[in-house]
A and B are shown apart, each in its own frame.
Chain A
Amino acid sequence: DADVTQTPRNRITKTGKRIMLECSQTKGHDRMYWYRQDPGLGLRLIYYSFDVKDINKGEISDGYSVSRQAQAKFSLSLESAIPNQTALYFCATSQGGQETQYFGPGTRLLVL
């Protein structure tokens, strides 16, 4: 079984809709991250959380919010989706003191 899972894997939605992407991990890591990937731009950090009570904005947090429901769960919400949020979204985890991040399989989001 995968250590980091994301649901849904694919989603099509309309402009203005609220949508939530979920991430769960069984690695026991304390840190979790949300990134988006756009063609030619690599990955950019949206939000990160070092533990359940610690949430921080990344470089492109506008239009997004997150919730760390438990150590193993970190969800990303788009309150009112817009077309330029169409992207591939990745969740990642790491253990504090260990710098390597491990990624989920990604969620492809299309906003019409």
Chain B
Amino acid sequence: AQKVTQAQTEISVVEKEDVTLDCVYETRDTTYYLFWYKQPPSGELVFLIRRNSFDEQNEISGRYSWNFQKSTSSFNFTITASQVVDSAVYFCALSEPHSSASKIIFGSGTRLSIRP
């Protein structure tokens, strides 16, 4: 069965520190997609990134980077030089396109607080 675990419920760091949000997933499929979404205090869900299971190349986008490792079933998200505007709840998610319902399973989220 699909499962996404975000073991860190809350993280608090001081501005300019680097922070890594962990995500571990379970799936039986060989083809799947992984996502990260950001939910700022205003409440909307913002899509950040999608990776497919065949592409383990790490990705960097500005201060954001993602480390995908199939060997450990992890898809971790690192924010470098954090800023107060990064404060949000971050969700990791998994979808299996060949399942009977092409839906996304979300982790329970990690609340990130960046202190000035």
- B35: contacting residue among A44, A48, A100, CB under 8 A: A100
Chain A residues whose C-beta falls within 8 Å of the C-beta of B97 in the assembled complex: 99
Within 8 A of A (CB), among B63-116: 91, 95, 97, 101-104, 106-109
Of chain B, the residue at the smallest CB distance from A44 is B106
**Contact residues on A (Cβ < 8 Å of other chain), bracket:** 20 to 34
Cβ B104 vs Cβ A41 within 8 A: no
How far is it, in angstroms, between the C-alpha of A83 and the C-alpha of B13 when the chains are bound?
Answer: 36
- B106: contacting residue among A43, A102, A108, CB under 8 A: A43
How far is it, in angstroms, between the C-alpha of A40 and the C-alpha of B6 when the chains are bound?
Answer: 11
Cβ B103 vs Cβ A41 within 8 A: no
The 3 closest A-B pairs by CB, nearest first: A42-B106, A103-B45, A99-B33
Could you tell me which A residues sit within 8 Å of B by CB distance?
31, 33, 40-45, 48, 50, 56, 58, 88, 90, 92, 94, 96, 99-106, 108
